[in-house]
Amino acid sequence: MKNVLMIIALVLMSSCASSDKDNLARYTESSTLWIQNGAEVRALAYQAFNTGKVYLNRVLRKKMYKLKPAIVVDIDETLLDNSPYQAKNILDNRLYNSKDWKVWIDLAQAKAVPGSIDYLNYVRKRGVKVIYISNRKIRGLDATYKNLLELGFPVKRQDIYLRTTTSNKEERRQKILKNYTIVQFIGDALGDFSEDFHKKGTNDRNILVDKMRGQFGTKFIVLPNPMYGDWEGALYNYEYSKTPQQKEKLRMRHLYPHN
């Protein structure tokens, strides 16, 4: 009987280990736990918006604009917290896919990133236009608008620019520049700030950040997002069609241990 129980225990342990190993989304567990539980995440968000306010006030005081001033803000992981979707992926052993992402967007249940609602309402009260540029697909416009509006963001439907063809946001930014001076960009990915970062590799991204270091904390306000983004895509050379196993190998190649 004792031997039988030992065998059963070993099988169960093996099954659990195999399940953990085969969980395709498990590599995002730590980052998702941090976003959902780390008080440091809230602190960084408040820090970002507090810093943004200091620079914005300087822009307005010195009238550092020619046309009507506007800020351009990203949505996902900048205003809306999608970590519940990431957590669902981990627990259900699935990777990001457009079908499940569509379901999540349509629920319009994302909570606000700490400090974001207060900041955008402050911006609006100062007479600065708030424009939203996101790479959510255009089909999600109604749900996105509903989610933002119900949370208390100062949003108008016509001021939300979602993705129609390309993930490059430059064309949408140029449309805005015809009528406004963009005095500040807020986002969680470098592509939210400049076309220079679009589809660039890891090394080039780091070099560009160093060159633009004076812009961060002033015109460019960055929110933390370790769960996904162009930083990860750069590891794969933006070839998202690679298998999970191939992506895992590439992630391992980008770890740099000490001697």
Residues 6+ apart with CB under 8 A from 149: 155
Residue 255 has pLDDT above 70, yes or no: yes
pLDDT category, 10, cuts 50, 70, 90?
very low
Mean pLDDT of the region 188-205: 98
Residue 187, domain member (yes or no): yes
CA gap 79, 117 in Å, rounded: 8
Q: Quick check: is 92 in a domain?
A: yes
pLDDT at 30 over 70: yes
Q: Is the pLDDT of residue 5 over 50?
A: no
Q: Are 201 and 231 in contact (CB under 8 A)?
A: no
For residue range 63-89, what is the model confidence (pLDDT) as tens digits? Answer: 999 999 999 999 999 999 999 999 999
User: Who's near 121: CB < 8 A, 6+ residues apart?
Assistant: 152, 153, 154
Does residue 2 belong to any structural domain of this protein? no
Mean pLDDT of 208-227: 98
Nearest CA among 121, 137, 210, 135 for reference residue 168: 135
Q: Dump pLDDT digits (tens) for 150-165.
A: 999 999 999 999 999 9
- DSSP notation for 202-225: HHHHHHHHHHTGGGBTTTEEE---
Query: Residue 8 has what pLDDT?
Result: 42
Q: Which amino acid is at 88?
A: K
Confidence (pLDDT) at 65: 98
Number of domains comprising the chain: 1
Q: Does residue 89 sit within a domain?
A: yes
Domain region containing 33: 25-225
Q: Percent of the chain beyond pLDDT 90?
A: 91
Domain assignment present for residue 45? The answer is: yes
Q: How confident is the model at residue 9 (pLDDT cuts 50, 70, 90)?
A: very low
Residue 139 lies in a domain: yes
pLDDT band at residue 22 using 50, 70 and 90 as cut-offs: confident
Tell me whether residue 91 is in a domain: yes
Q: What is the pLDDT of residues 169-194, one digit of tens each?
A: 999 999 999 999 999 999 999 999 99
Quick one: pLDDT at residue 21?
60
- CATH at 151: 3.40.50.1000
Q: Is residue 17 in a domain? A: no
